[in-house]
Structure 1
């Protein structure tokens, strides 16, 4: 192998450019690892925040549901006549007032029991300075000692809160019970009075902080708090440093994540806002948790970065050495074979370009020597252009120039010529290959001359037993000009040489690269010769699915039509059977412009119906007839739809003739008598093969066998057909219900009538009546 020590590291050498490129590529892993680190941090942060949000969302839902229950309870209490009626009591209280207070205290006990989230319920009646709970009666001074926001709140400030005309709000309080103090939340709601002159009353609900946060799921190293819109801390858990929580105004938006520094530590604060109360539910967690989760990922990223640089550096060295070795070998070979010397310190690519220029000059000399094979090579090139099989290593414009082909215009089309009749060349003398070559030579000259007259450029080539013409169309020419050109070539050869052509025309496309597509369109149009017939000019736009017609995606050959055809064939009625076949072909192939594959499928379906009808009749010799006619192979060997249709008609005629011949009157006396008996007794529900056998003195099995041998149909089917023929008359002429019509034609069970009618007609009686 070429040693790296001998590589010329001069500034003009390609190895310097490669080295810079490889080093640049090595920087990509560094950038990718940095991006991965940032994305991973965001993912960890999002997941932790999502976990915190789930906790505070759970707390929010639980507390809001309880608060809704308290607010509903306050409305119910405000409407309590006993509680609202005591507002009018004044001081001092009478005996009746004391008796009424006992009832109010009982009601408060009931309300408290109904909601275990509430620690205590008070009603403060301002007019009599009376405070009632479920346990005791006191006054505002004692209530002040029991419930106030903090120790610094004096009685005047406390009482001014309750002296408002209307109160409905929450407030944090300190609950003093038995010498101990507990954090709690107070919900106060005024009792509305009809008389605005009376002081009124206030219902007070006390909720301990422990119950408020009772449904909170514990989170490791996290503390939770509830702040109201006045930035008051309503409840908290997990820490005693309540002042560490952010202010209400710092938590903008409905929810989010912010960072706060407290006591020398970074804290991640997740929060959400209650839709009902406007409170902020806050969760605080040390930011070091993110660092703990990211520690393992950071190690992996830095190890990956180190390995990327190490392995990348080794690979850079190896590939630099490996990639330069072929360049060195190439330069050495070019220097040896071209006689050019590679100067030290020069650029390798410059030397290669110089050597290639010499090779191109030699190529021109070779091209001149190949001119003598120009026609054969030109034809091969045009075939490759049409089929899209050109050498990708040779530019197309160079090949066109080499073959002296000029296409000055932007748009292209392809014409295909198929010889249907040789005309004057049908005379004896010369083989088929010679005839084809002579006609193709004539076609080439006529087509190219007609193209010049039609303001187009044309080149022709033989391809797959056809002659192809590539038209380069000028902007002044239109698509009608192409069709006129094809018709002119077709008429000239037919008039002067009796040569009959089928010509296929592709669509017009922009760009030389679209010539293979145009050729495929021309092939598709030529294939449609099966439908159009020979000797036609067929444009791709005329095909089903082309520009002028909407393609038929399916053909119509419903079950009831197939059953009708089977019945006509069984009866040997060629006239009606042929009319029905022509009707199906007209409706699908002509009116729908059916595609070639679907047209074939339709005709094979019709042949299948004939075979099905023959199989259902019990006539001797039918298998020999099928082998003789061989309808499937006859249709497959037809080249055009007209030939297929004619073959179909001939097969149908032979089958119907065979059935008529097998059913001459001298052979079917018994069957005619049985058929007449069926027509006279079809309305009887008891009509069956046994009944008919008794009437004619024959066993049912013998009667059935003889009847099918003479008619080709089962006796039971004939009974059903006679009944159904009469039923169809009644359905079209009578307004009787279907069940009544079934009884009239011998069916006692409507389900049996529906099943047999659909079997023979392809539709139910109700659907048949709708169609009529």
Structure 2
């Protein structure tokens, strides 16, 4: 019975194989007939997909230039009128434009021209130019001059792109560049200014080749007037390809592919039009070259069909089993990657990227589905996160982050719904909340406080939360994120373990009195370091930090002023000629490189560094001859009014060499020998100017100086005033004036 059943199974299998073989022969003939058409459709779909990528990149860069133009228009220092005499302010305009250019690698040059302001000048990232000089020397256009520019400017109402044209740079190199003109303000009947963006042809062409990898055919970009913006063609066929583009029919589809025959050659022409600026993105591909491998494999295909017939059953079982395993694996991967998809959507939202309706739909539904019409972002930063790995195991920081994310998403259910994403810096978490109508910012602050309490209870760590503003559009989520990031960074000045609301921070910063930084403390700190007095140095550092943390400063300003503290220390060491040991030099480098979480951490690190430096300086001074310093100071104090006093004379009087005395005096006092003598003379001169009516020439002689011109120069450099201005100011002050 078993043997009979086996034979029946074999017979059934053979019948199935025969049926499959006959069907395969019929299908093979039909498939071959439709194969070419399928390949055409696939090539067409690929061309459209790649063109969309080019369009998206181009639209993004044009939007970046428009955003830069809006930022320039909103900067009062750039748009304000500056007299020609104020060279520094004009230089500031150039430096500001250079920063904008550095932030946008697409533009080869950014320039600004204002009607009737700052004379007939044009400010650019590369410098300041007379209008005629800009167009004749710096950038000489083949078909555009200063007069043509002014004529175009008078008629400019909205952004305009000039097509590619030869531009000679500084009379040396000629390149093809397109010029994008953006009026200030936009859509005004009479703009007061215009921004020029120069885009090199290589930027356009490189972008097309980089995205399309165009090895055959021709691709180009045309503006809304049909003018050529950029192109990329097969090597040695640029002119032929450009002529071919001009012969294309005018009724090409707006978004799609059409087969065109020119001179007996069949071409695939794909075209995409941007909704942002109306530009056309076109790709032309010869059908014969695209389908060449398919045509050449025609005979091979027939032989392959015969081979497939021989092994159809075996391959059916093998491929079926493999396909089954692949599908199961694919479903498992998609399910496990749902979190990654959700985080990708979150990242797009906080970056301000919105989904375009033409984008290709994913193979599964979006993870983020908003129920309510209000959105808010909170950013949480785990305090002392870098120390987490030192306190526990290596996995503890990851466990702490994961636990905090789960708690935040669970607490978010009380307000609506929420999703988390790891932040841009270590130990950071971004929380996007889609909240109900009755939810307030204070409710979000309470949620952040609960998360902080959980973290402290279970991990003995705290976190700082920054909370942005509520918005009613998902497209504005990125603004709430920027506000939350700013608020979280307030930890630097105000300490960690707190929740900061952006609106409250801004209100307090605007209500407070103007803050004046205590620069006078920096010379005192320098003097303490030179003397090697670590107690005084620690005191001065504490005073400087207290002056920062005791005020409601802007976060960015606080970080910049803190950097000034480290810079003062470095400058003092450099001016005093103090060579640090390798360990101390490495510590100073770390002060510059480390981004401290709070200003208190910075204070502790700076004090520790300065105490080590002061100990080293003090030990050096103690090893020197203290009696020699007292003799030198006494001799200088008695004879500094002698015009013949010199370093050689002082050294001879003390019985030492001039070079030794100079090194010793600077090491002990932190000041060069003759600079100290000049300081005494200047102090005496100030006293005589304020308290006597002696002529300035007489005062010069009395204090031991022989050259009045040298005295005037040193006095002005030291005091910021001429001797006569100092005397007038002293007399005015003693008489009750300002």
* TM-score of the two chains, using structure 1 as the length reference: 0.44
Higher relative contact order (CA closer than 8 Å, sequence separation 6+): 1
In the superposition, the TM-score normalised over structure 2's length comes to 0.46
* Larger Cα-atom Rg: 1
